[in-house]
Structure formats: structure tokens, C-alpha cells
Amino acid sequence: QQGMTVAPVVANLGPLEALKLTPNPEEVEEVFTLPLAHLLREENQGYTHFRTASGYGYTLPVFLNGPHKVWGLTAIITELTLELLVPGRY
């Protein structure tokens, strides 16, 4: 949707077992976690290539081998976050 603003937030929430998350079921199907070490392994990183009807193509990051494939806007935000958190390793 055009005109939408997304504001990613990175925070230390403490032990995940202590959290009681209640996401909006219309927006979030499932909540899961991936360790930073998992995201930094090359075998878990990839890219998805897209083409449009006009022939224009673009490439987006994707993170693999977890409970789900992380792609789309979530993967873009994850990639940008890794670049900030561990420069030179990602």
C-alpha cells in the first residue's frame, strides 16, 4: 500500500520465555525467533529475484533454514539491522 510508514524497532526484551505476546491475528500469523548466529551463517542467507511485467527486476534478501523462510519487508529490515549490529560480519 502506498503512503504507509513502517518504523522498525530493535530492543532487548530480556528472556523471551518471560514474554507474553499477543499480536493482532489479522496482521501476524505466527511469532518465532532466530538466533543471531543463525542469521549470520552464509548457508542461511540468500536472495530472491523478482521480475515485473515490464521486465524490470529486483533482488531482495531471504533468510532460510529456520521454522519459516524470512522474506519481504521483514528480511529487508533484518538485513539492515545485521549491517548495523555486526558490520564486517554480514
Give pLDDT tens digits for 29-64. Answer: 888 889 999 999 999 999 999 888 888 888 999 999
Half-sphere exposure of 22 (CA within 13 A, CB side): 1
Cα separation, 32 vs 69, in Å, equals 11
Q: 50 in a domain, yes or no?
A: yes
| 52: its cell numbers | 515485473
For residue 67, the enclosing domain spans: 33-85
Task: Write the single-letter amino acid at 72.
Answer: G
Q: Average pLDDT, stretch 63-75?
A: 94
Cα separation, 60 vs 69, in Å, equals 13
Q: 72 in a domain, yes or no?
A: yes
Residue in the structure block whose three cell numbers are 518471560: 18
The number of domains in the chain is: 1
Q: What does pTM read for this prediction?
A: 0.79
Q: Average pLDDT, stretch 11-19?
A: 83
